[in-house]
Chains A and B, each alone.
Chain A
Amino acid sequence: MSATATMTEQREEHLVIFTLDGEDYGVEIALVNEIIRRQEITQIPRALSDVEGVINLRGKIVPILDLRKRLGLPSLETTGATRIVVVEIRENTVGLIVDGVKGVLRLEASLIEPPSPLVNRSEDDDFVRGVGKHEGSLIILLNLERTLRLEITGE
């Protein structure tokens, strides 16, 4: 491993790109455990409204977050493209329901800008840590800790 290689890695972000309500979103690939099809979800009564329920992921109970609800987007019926992106961050494994997954992408750090009120609806600012430009389209980079309410629980 040469110094230049490390430098390159630092200047690039490796992302999983998924779609929600017609927009492209990205999360760091390092945080993504797997991507699965939507399966039967057991509702949790009295849980927060955007918590869809739990699933059995190979013997593990994994909570599922309806990302549309969480981000204040209108609900959508499950389609064939619907996927659950299972992320793991600080020992919390959570599945995110997304409209579809596009693939992975390497994005140069120079193409990522901090969130700007011009490109985001103000109430979503909290969830966005940056906006990346790729082939003329914009990719919203999610702040997962914020999205999963991890800082609120005081960890």
Chain B
Amino acid sequence: MSQYLGLFLDEASEQLELLEHDILLLEQDASPDLLDRIFRAAHTLKGSSRAMGFTPMGELTHALEDVFDRLRQQTLSITRPLIDALFAGLDSLKEMREQIATSGQTHEDTAVLCARLRSLLGRSIEEPRPIEKGKVEEEKDKKAKTSSVLLARPGTPHLDSETEDCLRLALNEEGGTAFWIALDFAQDCLMKSVRAMLAINSLNEIGQVLITEPIGEEIEAEGFSLPLYLLVQTSHTEAEVSTRMARLSETVLISLTEWHEEIPLQQIQDTSVTPFSFLLSVSQQEAIDEAHSVGERLVSLRIRLADDCVMKSIRALMVMNALEAVGSVIALNPDEEALEAETFEQTFDVLLATQVEEALIRLAIERVSEATCELITDWKAEREPATNTIAEASLTSGFVHSLEVPNLAPVETPDALHPVALSPARPTPPPTQTHAQTQTVRVDVARLDKLLNLIGELVIDRTRIAQLGTLLEQKYGLHELIESMNETATHVGRITDELQSEIMKARLIPIDTVFNRFPRMIRDLAQKLGKEVEFVVEGKETELDRSVVEIIGDPLVHMLRNSVDHGIETPEEREDRGKSRTGTVTLRARHQENHIVIEIEDDGKGMSPAALRAIAVRKGLLTSEAAYRLTDREALQIIFAPGFSTAAVVSEVSGRGVGMDIVKSNLERLGAIMDIQSEIGEGSRFTIKLPLTLAIIRGLLVKVAGGVFALPLVAVQETLRVDVAALHRINGREVILQRGHTLPIIRLDEIFDLSCAIVPEEPKSGRSTSSLSGMNSLQHLADNERTLNSRRSNEIYLVIVGNGTSTVGLVVDRLIGEQEVVIKTLGKFIGQIAGISGATILGDGRVALIADINGIIEVATERNYSEVQRRREEALDAA
């Protein structure tokens, strides 16, 4: 089973996510569709966890499923306690899933939760409980009747097919026999429950009691009706069991019968030629009638799964999905439960209502790997009342397929050859366009990472080849061979580009995988804080790279918490301010050029730059002078300062030891740019601009002091060429005037202590000798070119970059161009360097450093600060 564990865990998370999402919706709108979906998710989870042997998980899901079933039948109404209990159940399931993921087993005790859920059922039961624990029944009334009839036979309570399947499996795997035991206790017996427990314990010594009727809780509650039915699985004989029971005092053994599966009649028939037969319920009959009335045909299909097919249930499900795309599945044989439990041989039958040609149905089925359509025939039912007994049903609605087989081949062959030509008038959607047909493969992320790395190498080499071509051309002129090499290089380049973009796409996952845990969190949070919050999510289908998805979750959690906690006012406050009681928090994701933009917006109280300045000064984060100098926009960024919290009291919600400063630094590590907008009384908006992926970024390559740097394009606003005369000095800081604003200038060579080996007019000590000796001719060439280009005039190149807070101009020697660069780390040996986020390899094989704009601005600010400080001290000394 262990090889399915990963699959099971993946599936379980999916179902749990789905459940959480849908239960949230349930609070607002309990549409039948939604309830069906929830029920199905719980059902699937129950089936898979049982199949994997995680009993507590199965039990709890079962209890949940019961609740959903009752909701579906509208015999239970949705209340706050109900939703809370459902969430509690869901949390426990998640916990168990985690336990299974880490230790391969689960040790949760689900009894309390199951009881809690069942108590919800108990409260609103108006009709008699069905004999078995709540089950999936299409026609509850009918089934309940059947059950009670069967129960009238002493000693054998009726089992639903699912329990039967489990039992059959258990017997197959573990051997032994199953006995139904009916017990009565003496009239004057005081403690029936104790007697019952003693009987169960005694049986458990020689086997295992699988089912009790009434159920355990009712036995414990004492007031249960007799006889007590026990289904025990044991390897002991009937006589031994009987003796054991006789030994119990005050206990009378009424009957002891061996359990036999209630085999439906159609399965007993000769297996060599198994006819199609479907047991049809009233609703299924109605569905058939409806199909006829809209001109659909009914087709019976026999589907065979490959003999070595693992996870038959999944294949079967895929076939179902495929068939739902070409028609509607009316009936199954064996039924869905059996398919899910995999208690069927390699074939199963489907009754399908469809308008589509047989060939297309066949095609749809065979698109599912390991599945083939063995038989396909028109289904002709003799209309009989739907209330057939089992025997009647199998006789009247079944038919022997051998009679129909000769017709098959001539009918299907032309269709298979010209499926469209034969049905030109019918607007049949071809199977390729049908939904739910995407075939997927789960791939280890590490493998995708490796692929991306390899493509990164390819990108580098591609650029290298192109450059070699140019060099060769310069040296030897336009030779035929060079030309053809260049052509090939261009082609390789195109393919590499395509390959890269495909792999990048393969790594993309919808941001929904992060977003879907937020509605629940916001709900809980708002409840805890006594606030009313409507949470709106937009653009959750936006896709971004896995690596980014993995990291943005936590920062977003904090920011959302912050919005609900500090942004949104209490309902009373809101009313006082003439707003609606319910606040709105909007989470938005969208693509913008090569980036992802995520916005968190609230319509709460907004932030006051003045108040933020005051708090910052009071907390000693800033001097009052520094605080005063901040623009309003910069003042908003104070909330990201370490040690800052606007709430008077650190609340349980936001104050978990992680401040917005951590949020900011985490996001910046991703290369994100953050911006805040806020209007007092109107609300705030946080904007995060992220690169699509962490492995490859678009960069602007610039040359500074002989070295090449890549500036992340996400931060670049524009490039300028300005006259040196336009530079001014304010307070020791170089600035230029741009559109009426002063723009601080940062000289990259100073920040990085780079000396320019070629241009001597900038006197800088350092390693000019070693860097000179290391340069190859190519670089000399380029450097000379640079000297000619930019130094001849009195102009400097400026790259205007921003990190959301500040905008600065970086002085560079030359702009080289825009290029995709593969980010490589500098490694542990070198460690973190302020202002440098990594390195990349250029087309000519040289290494370029990737600049970290945030780091550069920080370094420059520090430096400026210490500069000012130094001068102030000097002034003091002089005085």
> Does B406 belong to the interface (CB within 8 Å)?
no
> Are the C-beta atoms of A59 and B770 separated by less than 8 Å?
no
> Are the C-beta atoms of B849 and A42 separated by less than 8 Å?
yes
Q: A40-B846, A92-B828 are in contact. Are A46 and B773 (CB under 8 A)?
A: no
> Are the C-beta atoms of B829 and A46 separated by less than 8 Å?
no
B847: contacting residue among A42, A51, A148, CB under 8 A: A42
> Does B400 belong to the interface (CB within 8 Å)?
no
> Are the C-beta atoms of A43 and B833 separated by less than 8 Å?
no
Sort chain A's interface into a size bin: 20 to 34
Chain B 826-845 per-residue mask, 1 if CB under 8 angstroms from chain A, else 0: 11111101111001010001
The 8 A-B pairs of least Cβ separation, nearest first, read A45-B752, A42-B847, A63-B829, A61-B824, A59-B457, A56-B841, A41-B774, A63-B830
For residue A94, which residues in chain B have a CB less than 8 angstroms away from its CB?
829
For residue A153, which residues in chain B have a CB less than 8 angstroms away from its CB?
828, 831
Q: Report B334 CB to chain A, min CB distance, Å.
A: 55
Q: A45-B835, A46-B836 are in contact. Are A52 and B770 (CB under 8 A)?
A: yes
Find the B residue at minimum CB distance from A42.
B847
CA distance A2 to B752 in the complex (A): 58
Q: A61-B841, A77-B773 are in contact. Are A44 and B846 (CB under 8 A)?
A: no
> Are the C-beta atoms of B828 and A44 separated by less than 8 Å?
no
Find the B residue at minimum CB distance from A55.
B847
> Are the C-beta atoms of A40 and B774 separated by less than 8 Å?
yes
> Does A1 belong to the interface (CB within 8 Å)?
no
> Are the C-beta atoms of B826 and A63 separated by less than 8 Å?
yes
For residue A59, which residues in chain B have a CB less than 8 angstroms away from its CB?
457, 460, 841
Interface residues of B (CB under 8 A from A): 457, 460, 707, 751-754, 767, 769-771, 773-776, 779, 824-831, 833-836, 839, 841, 845-849
Determine which residue in B769, B839, B847 has the highest number of CB atoms from chain A within 10 A of its CB, and name it. Answer: B847
For residue B773, which residues in chain A have a CB less than 8 angstroms away from its CB?
77-78
Q: Report A60 CB to chain B, min CB distance, Å.
A: 8
Chain A 31-55 per-residue mask, 1 if CB under 8 angstroms from chain B, else 0: 0000000111111111100011111
Q: Report B815 CB to chain A, min CB distance, Å.
A: 19
For residue B770, which residues in chain A have a CB less than 8 angstroms away from its CB?
52, 78
Interface residues of A (CB under 8 A from B): 38-47, 51-56, 59-61, 63, 65, 77-78, 92-94, 148-149, 153, 155
Q: Report B831 CB to chain A, min CB distance, Å.
A: 8
> Are the C-beta atoms of A92 and B847 separated by less than 8 Å?
no
> Are the C-beta atoms of B753 and A46 separated by less than 8 Å?
yes
Q: A38-B774, A45-B833 are in contact. Are A61 and B846 (CB under 8 A)?
A: no
> Are the C-beta atoms of B836 and A54 separated by less than 8 Å?
no
Q: Report A86 CB to chain B, min CB distance, Å.
A: 12
Number of A-B contacts (CB under 8 A): 83
> Are the C-beta atoms of A40 and B779 separated by less than 8 Å?
yes
Q: A45-B753, A45-B836 are in contact. Are A54 and B828 (CB under 8 A)?
A: no
A40: contacting residue among B753, B775, B829, B835, CB under 8 A: B775
For residue A44, which residues in chain B have a CB less than 8 angstroms away from its CB?
826, 830, 833, 836, 849
Q: Report B775 CB to chain A, min CB distance, Å.
A: 6
CA distance A110 to B833 in the complex (A): 44
Q: Report B460 CB to chain A, min CB distance, Å.
A: 7
Q: A40-B779, A46-B833 are in contact. Are A77 and B753 (CB under 8 A)?
A: no
Q: Report B845 CB to chain A, min CB distance, Å.
A: 6
Q: A63-B826, A148-B829 are in contact. Are A42 and B753 (CB under 8 A)?
A: no
For residue A42, which residues in chain B have a CB less than 8 angstroms away from its CB?
707, 839, 846-849
Find the B residue at minimum CB distance from A41.
B774
Find the A residue at minimum CB distance from B753.
A45
For residue B771, which residues in chain A have a CB less than 8 angstroms away from its CB?
43
Q: Report B797 CB to chain A, min CB distance, Å.
A: 19
For residue A56, which residues in chain B have a CB less than 8 angstroms away from its CB?
841, 845-847
Q: Report B151 CB to chain A, min CB distance, Å.
A: 69
For residue B831, which residues in chain A have a CB less than 8 angstroms away from its CB?
153
CA distance A94 to B841 in the complex (A): 17
CA distance A32 to B100 in the complex (A): 44
CA distance A155 to B779 in the complex (A): 38
CA distance A52 to B770 in the complex (A): 9
Determine which residue in A38, A46, A65 has the highest number of CB atoms from chain B within 10 A of its CB, and name it. Answer: A46
Q: Report A45 CB to chain B, min CB distance, Å.
A: 3
For residue A51, which residues in chain B have a CB less than 8 angstroms away from its CB?
829-830
Can you give 9 A-B contacts (C-beta < 8 A)? Answer: A44-B826, A46-B836, A51-B830, A56-B847, A59-B457, A61-B824, A61-B825, A63-B829, A78-B773
CA distance A148 to B827 in the complex (A): 13
Determine which residue in A47, A59, A65, A148 has the highest number of CB atoms from chain B within 10 A of its CB, and name it. Answer: A59
For residue B828, which residues in chain A have a CB less than 8 angstroms away from its CB?
92, 153, 155
For residue B824, which residues in chain A have a CB less than 8 angstroms away from its CB?
60-61
For residue A45, which residues in chain B have a CB less than 8 angstroms away from its CB?
751-754, 833, 835-836, 849
CA distance A62 to B170 in the complex (A): 60
CA distance A23 to B774 in the complex (A): 25
CA distance A50 to B775 in the complex (A): 19
CA distance A116 to B435 in the complex (A): 78
CA distance A45 to B776 in the complex (A): 20
CA distance A107 to B371 in the complex (A): 67
CA distance A52 to B848 in the complex (A): 15
CA distance A65 to B752 in the complex (A): 19
For residue A41, which residues in chain B have a CB less than 8 angstroms away from its CB?
774
> Are the C-beta atoms of B769 and A77 separated by less than 8 Å?
yes
Find the B residue at minimum CB distance from A51.
B830
For residue A149, which residues in chain B have a CB less than 8 angstroms away from its CB?
829
For residue B849, which residues in chain A have a CB less than 8 angstroms away from its CB?
42, 44-45
